[in-house]
């Protein structure tokens, strides 16, 4: 039987998984809300699916695997809002469903280490909405659901280099603040490993080995580029967008032990130094 992945939301992480699966003979369907994007999807080898109840129901009926990367919008999960009946009707037939969540569902642990058994206590609206969405997906009977709680994503075209080059990067100093990160290719290999060894009900923190202060990452990016290291700005003197401020509101070190031990994932980019150096070399090549 042909393996068919439906991506509900065909964004950055879903595209990385698609690049792994297409050469293996998979059929990949990706959603779009804009009919004018359909030809561009076809050119990448992806079968386009319009974001309508009828087209989504038809695609869900054809899929063997589903990746949910469309995040909550206006307080509700867009996939469940439009296609919950089709998902429920096909739940027992599907082989694997992956839901991309965020480590923001845990809340603030004062820089302590946490794992997948840590209670969820999100303090931001974004984290609270994600926690509710996780619970909604978990409530669908017989759905072979796997939840991946992603740390801050970086990779080709997404990282600190552009801001350093533009002179807009800031080194904001908040004492003892750390963030976890994950390279998009490590997200893709984690998802692929789970597809090959499904464990319905499993939850995986998807992050690298080295939670690090954000100012250190900016400084290292500047050093790699041969640019001046941006000056330090105390947290209480910095101006933030609401989204940026929400990131600094919570502080934790996220363990990835489960994805390494249960899925056998060996990270391609175990820390930001390895990841940023590889990105720069790819740019130069």
Name the pairing type of β-strands 113-114 and 232-234.
unpaired
Give the least confident one: 136-140, 150-154, 221-225, 242-246.
242-246
- The percentage of the chain sitting over the pLDDT mark of 70, rounded to a whole number, equals 100
Q: Which two tokens stand for residue 222?
A: 């500047």
pLDDT, tens digit (0-9, with 9 covering 90-100), for 169-183? 999 999 999 999 999
- pLDDT for 1 equals 61
Which band of pLDDT confidence, cut at 50, 70 and 90, is reported for residue 2? confident
Residues 6+ apart with CB under 8 A from 260: 266, 267
CA distances to 64, 152, 195 from 53, in Å? 19, 31, 26
- pLDDT for 217 equals 96
Which band of pLDDT confidence, cut at 50, 70 and 90, is reported for residue 260? very high
Give the least confident one: 203-212, 225-234, 260-269.
225-234
CB neighbours (10 Å) of residue 171? Answer: 18
Q: Dihedral angle at the C-alpha atoms of 18, 133, 135, 241, nearest 10 degrees?
A: 110
Domains along the sequence of the chain with CATH: 4-154+182-208+254-269 (3.40.50.720)
- pLDDT for 45 equals 97
pLDDT, tens digit (0-9, with 9 covering 90-100), for 109-129? 999 999 999 999 999 999 999
Asked if 174 contacts 196 with a C-beta cutoff of 8 angstroms, the reply is no
Within 236-271, residue ranges assigned H as helices are 242-248, 257-263
- The percentage of the chain sitting over the pLDDT mark of 90, rounded to a whole number, equals 89
Q: What's this model's pTM, rounded to 2 decimal places? A: 0.96
pLDDT, tens digit (0-9, with 9 covering 90-100), for 241-254? 877 788 888 999 99
Q: What is the mean pLDDT of residues 72-100?
A: 96
Strand spans (E) along the chain = 4-8, 27-32, 47-50, 65-68, 96-102, 113-114, 145-150, 152-154, 171-173, 181-183, 203-206, 232-234, 253-254
Residues 6+ apart with CB under 8 A from 16: 155, 184, 185, 187, 188
Residues 6+ apart with CB under 8 A from 230: 164, 169, 170, 171, 218, 219, 222
- pLDDT for 85 equals 97
Q: What distance in Å separates the CA atoms of residue 233 and residue 219, rounded to the nearest whole number?
A: 13
């Amino acid at each position: 039987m042909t393996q068919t992945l439906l991506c509900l939301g065909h964004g950055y992480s879903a595209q990385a998984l698609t690049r792994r699966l297409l050469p293996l003979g998979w059929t990949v369907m990706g959603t779009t809300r804009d009919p004018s994007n359909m030809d561009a999807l076809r050119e990448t080898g992806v079968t386009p699916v319009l974001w309508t109840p009828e087209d989504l129901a038809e695609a869900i009926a054809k899929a063997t695997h589903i990746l949910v990367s469309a995040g909550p919008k206006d307080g509700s999960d867009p996939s469940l809002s439009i296609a919950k009946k089709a998902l429920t009707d096909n739940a027992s037939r599907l082989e694997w469903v992956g839901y991309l969540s965020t480590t923001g569902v845990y809340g603030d642990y004062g820089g302590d280490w946490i794992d997948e058994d840590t209670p969820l206590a999100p303090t931001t609206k974004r984290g609270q909405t994600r926690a509710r969405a996780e619970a909604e997906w978990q409530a669908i009977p017989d759905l072979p659901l796997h939840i991946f709680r992603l740390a801050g994503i970086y990779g080709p075209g997404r990282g600190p280099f552009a801001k350093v080059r533009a002179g807009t990067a800031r080194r904001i100093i908040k004492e003892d603040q750390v963030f976890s990160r994950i390279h998009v290719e490590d997200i893709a290999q984690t998802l692929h490993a789970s597809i090959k060894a499904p464990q319905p009900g499993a939850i995986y923190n998807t992050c690298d080995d080295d939670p690090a202060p954000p100012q250190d990452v900016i400084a290292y990016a500047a050093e790699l580029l041969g640019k001046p290291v941006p000056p330090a700005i105390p947290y209480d003197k910095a101006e933030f967008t609401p989204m940026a401020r929400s990131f600094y509101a919570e502080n934790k070190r996220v363990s990835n032990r489960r994805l390494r031990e249960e899925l056998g994932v060996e990270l391609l980019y175990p820390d930001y130094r390895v990841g940023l150096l590889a990105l720069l070399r790819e740019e130069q090549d």
